[in-house]
Amino acid sequence: MLNSPIVVLLQFFYTVGALGLAVYGLQALILTILRLRSERMSKRGRTRSKSVSLGSTNGDDEFWPAVTVQLPLYNEVHVVNRLIDACAGLNYPRDRLQIQVLDDSTDGTTALAQRRAALWRGRGVNVEVLHRSDRRGFKAGALKEGLRTANGEYVAVFDADFTPDRDFLRQTVPTFLSLDGDRVGFAQTRWTHLNAGYSALTRAQALALDGHFVVEQAARFSVGLAFGFNGSAGVWRRACIEDPNVGGWQDDTLCEDLDLSYRAQLAGWRGVYLDGVEAPAELPPQLLAFKRQQFRWAKGSVATLRKLSGRVWKGGWPTLKRLAAFVHLGGYLIHPLLLLLLLVSPLLMLFGSQPYWPLAYLSLVSAGPPALYALAQRRLWGRAWLRRWAYLPLLMLLGMGLSLSNSIAALQALLGRGGTFLRTPKFHVRREADEWHRSGYALELEPLVAAEIFLALYAVGGCFISVVHGQWLNLPFLLSFTCGYASAAAIGIREAWLARSARTRQRRQTTRPLRAKNLVKS
């Protein structure tokens, strides 16, 4: 049985999965080292460019170029006023600032946006609401449509969950006007979090995003590797977007931001990552909302890999830069690899074959990801970093619990299947007392939860087989999957129940006065 074709095939799949995960563990370690190296160089006073001084925040206004701020929205009643207020309060010459609310909403968001825009126009701020009757092209279509009437030389983009600081444009626009900034196509800033302390879920999300921005984005930029625009809290040079070799906003992937930024860099434009400029945003407090966000990012990034892999390979970049781009664009392929290992490991043990456990532990216990997240927290919080880094086990469980959903997203992208741009609902929650489940945006439970429960039970079976066969080294891996899938399913069911119960109570409260009124009439 040990040499049977089925065992050989299972060993092959196991090896592919383990080595694939090892690649991403190695990437995390390399990026961590590059980030440390760039910090040492920065301390020695070495900078990439010298910026042109544009004066203080109150003077020399005649030197500032025209900027259009685009705010793509779809059903955001909870945060639309907050977003418009923050952007209307930007410290920038009002005669050079245009704010476009690109609204595709089908609920009360449009009326709220129009009233808020009118309020700010009365105060001398150029805020206009552009409402579309359909969502053709989704976010990319809205941005493209808004660009037709934009008057800015530069375009800043903010999603609905962001609240930019007053000096955001004063801190970012000079990047394009520096001595070597003529080929800078876009600038990305670092996301921070309005509600990181809301729950264990938001703390784990904050840990993941901090690692991405503080280490991954900074490391790639420091050595000239390609990196992505994150879709929000960044500024584009309009000439770059409209460059025929770039091709503008396109809607054939669900990550139009990553797609455009790579096409821009392939066309010879540069991206700049501004680690020192912060952009606060709200994290999804509902696991199902976070799951939807990750599904869209997974599908969009793998679709971008499928779309641009040929251009990346033939784009004239050095070999290492091309390889780094492939690993970057395929980052969400880690989830199908994890799922593959889960499915194969119990079968190998059942057939009496010892999985090549050193390969699995090479990737799963690699120092790369823990070191990356530790460095990010140390960089942000100094001596208080450990308390935030302690949420790493939860983040790992989330990754395993979402691996089925993200694997489906990646597979759909590889097969070229499109899809609807499913928004991540925003609830305007910041404190523990704030409740999201009373909102009509709270998501319902998906049928996929049944498959997650099955995989949790499958992992339990794998744990049992591991114990019976004495293959103890596989037990931590399978236990992690058991906890990951069981937690994802349990939390999803609980959240959906809370949301449904809240809606039921609201309906009862609404119908109760009507019943009382009818009784009085009778």
Domain boundaries, the chain: 5-33+335-505, 64-332
Strands of 132-177, DSSP E: 154-157
| Per-residue pLDDT at 522 | 45
pLDDT digits 0-9 by tens, 103-120? 999 999 999 999 999 999
Query: What pLDDT is attached to residue 54?
Result: 46
Tell me: the pLDDT tens digits for 181-221?
A: 789 999 999 999 999 999 999 999 999 999 999 999 999 99
User: What token pair was written down for 282?
Assistant: 């709200």
Spatial separation of the C-alpha atoms in residues 346 and 455, rounded to whole Å: 12
Q: Dihedral sign, CA of 88, 90, 96, 99?
A: negative
**Token representation of residue 272:** 């700049």
Give pLDDT, residue 44: 67
Q: Note whether 210 and 376 are within 8 A (CB).
A: yes
Q: Are 401 and 485 in contact (CB under 8 A)?
A: yes
Amino acid making up residue 354? Q
Mean pLDDT of the chain: 90
pLDDT class for 520, splitting at 50, 70, 90?
very low
**Number of Cβ atoms within 10 Å of the Cβ of 182:** 11
Position 519 scores a pLDDT of 44
How high is the pLDDT of residue 516? 46
- Write the DSSP assignment of 267-332 as a string of letters: TT-EEEEEEEEEEEEPPP-SHHHHHHHHHHHHHHHHHHHHHHHHHHHHS---HHHHHHHHHHHTGG
* 382-401: average pLDDT: 95
Query: Is the pLDDT confidence value at 52 over 50?
Result: no
Residue 55 pLDDT level (bands cut at 50, 70, 90): very low
From CA 330, how far away is CA 299, in angstroms rounded?
10
List the catalytic residue out of 103, 159, 257, 275.
Answer: 257
Strand partners, 73: 103
- The CA-based diameter of the chain, rounded to the nearest angstrom, is 85
Average pLDDT over residues 253-264: 96
pLDDT band of 50, cuts 50, 70, 90: very low
Mode of pairing for the β-strands spanning 97-103 and 67-73: parallel
DSSP symbols for 233-266 = SEEEEHHHHT-TTT-----SSS-HHHHHHHHHHH
Asked if residue 51 has pLDDT above 70, the reply is no
The answer to whether 252 is a known catalytic residue is no
Question: Shortest CA distance to 206 belongs to which of 392, 414, 27, 56?
Answer: 392
Look at residues 418, 460, 378, 346 and name the one whose alpha carbon lies nearest to residue 214.
378
Residue 385 has pLDDT above 70, yes or no: yes
Reported pTM: 0.92
Question: At 357, is the pLDDT very low, low, confident or very high (cuts 50, 70, 90)?
Answer: low
| C-alpha span between 282 and 315 (Å, rounded) | 37
Q: What is the rounded distance in angstroms from the CA atom of residue 423 to the CA atom of residue 17?
A: 31
Return the percentage of the chain with pLDDT > 90, whole number: 73
Which amino acid, 500?
A: R
pLDDT level of residue 359 (50, 70, 90 thresholds): low
Q: What is the reported pLDDT for 18?
A: 85
> What value does the mean pLDDT take over residues 259-281?
97
What's the CA gap between 230 and 253, in Å, rounded? 14
The C-alpha atoms of residue 342 and residue 350 are separated, in whole angstroms, by: 13
Q: What is the pLDDT of residue 367?
A: 81
CATH number for the region 64-332 comes to: 3.90.550.10
pLDDT bucket at 72, cuts 50 / 70 / 90: very high
* Least-confidence region, from 54-68, 71-85, 369-383: 54-68
Residue-wise pLDDT tens digits, 9-46: 998 898 888 888 888 999 999 999 999 998 888 776 64
Q: Which of 246-255, 262-271, 508-517 has the lowest mean pLDDT?
A: 508-517
Residue 187, strand partner residues? 235, 272
Is the CB of residue 221 less than 8 Å from the CB of residue 329? no
Is 259 among the residues known to form the active site? no
pLDDT at 49 (0 to 100)? 40
Least confident of 145-154, 327-336, 418-427: 418-427
Q: Where are the alpha helices (DSSP H) in 44-155?
A: 80-88, 109-121, 138-147
Q: Between residues 420 and 193, which one has the greater pLDDT?
A: 193
- Please pick, among 104, 161, 165, 259, the residue that the annotation labels catalytic: 104
pLDDT of the residue at 356: 57
Q: Which residues of 432-454 are buried (b: 16+ CB within 10 A; e: fewer)?
A: eeeebbbbebbbebbebbeebbe
